[in-house]
Structure 1
């Protein structure tokens, strides 16, 4: 019984010593507001990240897993990085022309500028065309909830996420997936889809226009003097 009491006391002391570090990593007093602007297929994610001064020692990044129904344009992001508006890394191949049913998912890391209590980040994204269906209608696009990653100088225990350290993507770092206050609801967007009932009409009109274009081109070529 005595040995059990001593062993339990050691575990309690160990937990008391370990918990402050874990607590600092899990509760950095971070809040994130999300708003989606613009209409149609070209949208913009507006994030407002607020942090306390005691979290300035930690390096932060926002991770967003982008589903098949949407994409982040690498060329557009490259321009924003070059101009200094954002610091974003896209992990994964992005085919900007692919429809939703053949597209692949990718991940975006948005590195948060240091030493600022409030940071506004605007990330453009695009919705993909979805497979046509009978009677048309609208398809649903769910915008995944972002994660907030942190690297802090004090120990945080187990490393939860292996991710790029910076834009160079040459080295991976051990990040901690930290808790934050989400000041937004889950977002579900609607995108129009084609109507299969219109397929015969569209095919006939397309064929007629193609034939008319060929006839006009041949008539112009036949009347042009050599």
Structure 2
């Protein structure tokens, strides 16, 4: 294909019909040379690790083009947290101190003790890191926890849907390949420590799975009387045991 294209170019040059912007478009010229003009896709994968009420959300991003020339770029993941989940800000601070993850909460007045039906959605900004095992891959790690849900009358479980995040990129210099993926610009902190606002490019990508769905076990309303009775009985027994121990082994002075 390339040999045939070169032959055509020599023929055009000899006849005075060399390509100009008016005669042949850049895309047609590249196609003639056998160079692919379509943009490759960014692939995003959501994974949920561990079992129980305490999970780890792992987000992996793979670029379709080599990013060796994009070493000055940073990747930011804006993850929406539904009401059925919460992120512990104290846990985030601990993970940052140990250099495990870099994330910050956007929402204010966040209550980690509130149940699902008294909570609001929140947003987390996660600064992704380049994967040491993949030159054109990034990944981000975020621990999430289930909130308490209302008991159901029949089904003993409910579902939480975690939507795919927004993928943001900021580069110190402009690269033509970014035009393939960029859709708009979004203002966000430049880094976790630098609170200055940078204009990040909102990138379009292809997700391996549409959304992440988590299954949460919940109580049944028919068990309300039994649970309340057992809880009250255990509370009375424990309180009585404490009082007996205090009067038996305690030292009182008037």
What is the alpha-carbon distance in structure 2 between the residues aligned to residue 223 and residue 35 of structure 1?
A: 55
Matched, 1:129 2:154: no
Going from structure 1 to structure 2, the CA distance change for 1:58 and 1:137 (only over 3 Å counts) comes to same
- Specify every segment of 5 or more residues in structure 2 that has no aligned partner in the other structure, as ranges: 1-21, 26-38
SS at match of 1:160: strand
Match of residue 187 from structure 2: 162
What is the alpha-carbon distance in structure 2 between the residues aligned to residue 123 and residue 217 of structure 1?
A: 41
Q: How big is each residue's C-alpha offset from its partner over 1:91-112, in whole Å with a ceiling of 9 and x where there is no partner? A: 1143222211112222111113
What is the alpha-carbon distance in structure 1 between the residues aligned to residue 198 and residue 70 of structure 2?
A: 18
What is the alpha-carbon distance in structure 2 between the residues aligned to residue 73 and residue 218 of structure 1?
A: 36
Q: How does 1:93-172 map to 2 (within 5 A)?
A: 93=108, 94-113=110-129, 116-152=135-171, 153-154=173-174, 159-168=184-193, 170-172=195-197
Point out 4+ residue stretches in structure 1 off by more than 6 angstroms.
155-158
Q: Note the C-alpha offset of 1:186.
A: 1.8
Match of residue 218 from structure 2: 193
Higher relative contact order (CA 8 A, sep 6+): 1
What is the alpha-carbon distance in structure 2 between the residues aligned to residue 58 and residue 219 of structure 1?
A: 66
What is the alpha-carbon distance in structure 2 between the residues aligned to residue 216 and residue 169 of structure 1?
A: 54
Higher mean alpha-carbon deviation, 155-164 vs 184-193, is at: 155-164
Matched, 1:30 2:42: yes
Q: Which has the larger radius of gyration?
A: 2
Q: Note the C-alpha offset of 1:29.
A: 4.6
Matched, 1:60 2:75: yes
Match of residue 209 from structure 1: 234
What is the alpha-carbon distance in structure 2 between the residues aligned to residue 139 and residue 169 of structure 1?
A: 40
Q: Note the C-alpha offset of 1:158.
A: 8.4
Higher mean alpha-carbon deviation, 189-198 vs 162-171, is at: 162-171
Q: TM-score, structure 2 length as denominator?
A: 0.69
RMSD of equivalent CA atoms: 2.9
SS at match of 1:119: strand
Q: TM-score, structure 1 length as denominator?
A: 0.76
Match of residue 4 from structure 1: none
